[in-house]
Chain A
Amino acid sequence: MSDAGQGVAASPRDPVREKVRELVPGIERLSLTYGAMDDFNSETDSDYTSYWRDWFISSRGNEYFCEIDEEYLTDRFNLTGLNTEVQYYQYALDLVTDVFDFDCDDDMREQIEKSARHLYGLVHARYIVTTRGLAKMLEKFKKSDFGKCPRVMCDSQPLLPMGQSDMANSSPVKLYCARCEDLYNPKSSRHAIIDGAYFGTSFHNILFQVYPIMLPPKTQRRYEPRVFGFKVHSAAALARWQADEREKLKDRLRGARIESGFEEDEAEAEEEDDDEEMEGDGFEGATVQQ
């Protein structure tokens, strides 16, 4: 979404501004129009546009979230159990669905605001494993909205957000790479504080079950530590052991007539393994295997 520098502090009234900004590039120069938009943007006008949710997902730091359908949010069944998880549940829900009209002081408003964000996150975890939610997250995945795998051999594989727990407040969101099947920390500190439970432990795996076509080919290419051209023996020995494990896996899959999913051309590439190697703790034992 447009994260072009709108602070989190921006009020929920801003989404219209942002919408307009999106629809009409250069609108800011047209101060008249802009002023007019501001007038239009009063809190009572909330019947059709999803002000709060628009504001939320376009706020800086919330780039990982997709927009939850009104329909989904208003079906009580989807919210089962959340009333005990979220303070001021009803107010928070009203705020999220833009029907909030409770007159309260700023402190209270802030509390409710916080609850609304928490509620949105918890519903989000459920929504993104629905058909609609998966499709929305898939689009974001295709645009690399969640970033790319930092591992060099993964060739900028797009990532997916995930939680290491489904319980709130246990650990922040992590990123899953389907190419190396490993977990990474978000680069930005504004993402590193998002609760992992807002994405959950299952979503990223479900996405690839539902859209197996999105599974990237696995790569066997790997980094080989070297010193002055020699492979480092300890690392090379470990890599060979791991390659054995990989071949065992491939045998098991072959036995079960299942595709391994590895890139083709690599099988023979790694046979040329007889470079000289160098032992770790000094050069006296530059051991040559075989």
Chain B
Amino acid sequence: MSSSSQVTESWISSFCGLLGHEYFAEVSEDFIEDDFNLTGLQSQVPMYKEALEMILDVEPEDDDDEEEEEEEDEEDDEILGDERPTAYRRASDRRHLRIASDLSVIESSAELLYGLIHQRYITSRPGIQQMAEKYELQHFGTCPRVHCNSTKVLPVGLKDSPGHETVKLFCPSCLDVYTPPNSRFQTVDGAFFGTTFPSLFFMTFTDLDIGSGIRNNPSSTAQALLQIQTETTKGTSTTPANVTSINGVAPHNLAPGIGAGNIYGPRIYGFRVSERAKSGPRMKWLRMKPADVTELDETRRYWENPPDDADRPHDDDLNMVDVAEGKSVDSRKKISARRKRTNGSGNGGGSPMDTNGVGAAG
């Protein structure tokens, strides 16, 4: 139920308003009230029921009552809530009813439960949409890497189970993860965002132009200077212009922050430090990318150089590169058409990604 007219803030919005909780989306009550979305969480969260009630600002009628009855009361509240707003008392109102220690256990259980629901919510259609709005508003900040030129980042967990790592930030321009700049995020569990969210996000919103900031404004004259100094191959992507997708990603969205021109090359007094020096560069590979990204079509590459070409599959089956229609080779037509259909459907219906239950299954 939406208690928009309520004066008091809901538990969820006050949780999301806490310092350090800026990355969280407000999970809709609809999502939480759908039991399917909570599958398996009961065993992970102590005082699950109380925690869930706290999150939903549901007040059991009588505190001394047993579980069963509370369940019923909840049901009643659900139905009559709007007409009978007094039935919903704020969690804070009932604080005095519980012993303090109990309450703090419930409070932290509620946070854990909310986090775990949140992990699932942000991979559901409404959740990912809400995160997209936060992304646009730059709520998650930008990549600290100079050559990523302030690419907007997304929160990510390195683990899906809680208690391991704090939240990190994923940058789509360099495909790397970073520690949030502010220490207040170092108390936020990464599992509350999960491992799937950022990659699913960019698969879903394929129309986002990740690298626009990198292509359009060399952040300073020095950078422009530097680019002239460095490899002359700067920006010279030799990817054929008609390639619209490589391994499922538009070439301009494939790690736009790396590749020639975006790799730091150490110099001393203007002279490049040789790779043969003990302190010479060893990590350029981490930020390299082929000038022609179709090189990354491994399937095709493999079969173009077959060790023994006995059972080379049909072209249709090994092509991971999409070309724009028009002058296309006919064997590719079918694939392009098929992609057309699925492209962008991640936003809306029909995609297996948008079911609320996907997260719950994991």
Contacts and interface: CB of A to CB of B under 8 A. Distances in A.
B129 interface: no
Interface residues of B, number: 73
Interface in B218-256: 219-223, 225-226, 245-249, 254-255
A281 B296 contact: no
A252 B276 CA distance: 9
B200 interface: yes
Contacts of A117: none
A226 B196 contact: yes
Interface string A268-290: 00000000000111111101010
A25 interface: no
A130 interface: no
A152 B179 contact: yes
A223 B176 contact: yes
Q: Tell which of A152, A235, A238 has the most Cβ of chain B within 10 Å.
A: A238
Contacts of B281: 181
Nearest to A184: B144
A151 B177 contact: yes
B288 A209 contact: no
Interface string A253-281: 10010111110000000000000000111
A218 B282 contact: yes
Contact of B264 (A172, A181, A235): A181
Q: Tell which of A232, A249, A287 has the most Cβ of chain B within 10 Å.
A: A232
Contact of B339 (A196, A226, A238, A281): A281
Interface residues of A, number: 68
A59 B281 CA distance: 35
25 contacts: A152-B158, A152-B176, A152-B177, A152-B179, A164-B222, A180-B286, A181-B286, A182-B146, A183-B146, A183-B147, A196-B222, A209-B268, A212-B279, A223-B177, A225-B175, A225-B199, A226-B196, A238-B254, A238-B255, A240-B298, A280-B203, A280-B206, A281-B248, A282-B351, A287-B320
Interface of B: 144-147, 158, 168, 170, 175-179, 181, 195-196, 198-200, 203, 206, 219-223, 225-226, 245-249, 254-255, 264, 266-270, 273, 275-279, 281-290, 295-299, 320, 338-339, 342-343, 345-346, 351-353, 358, 362
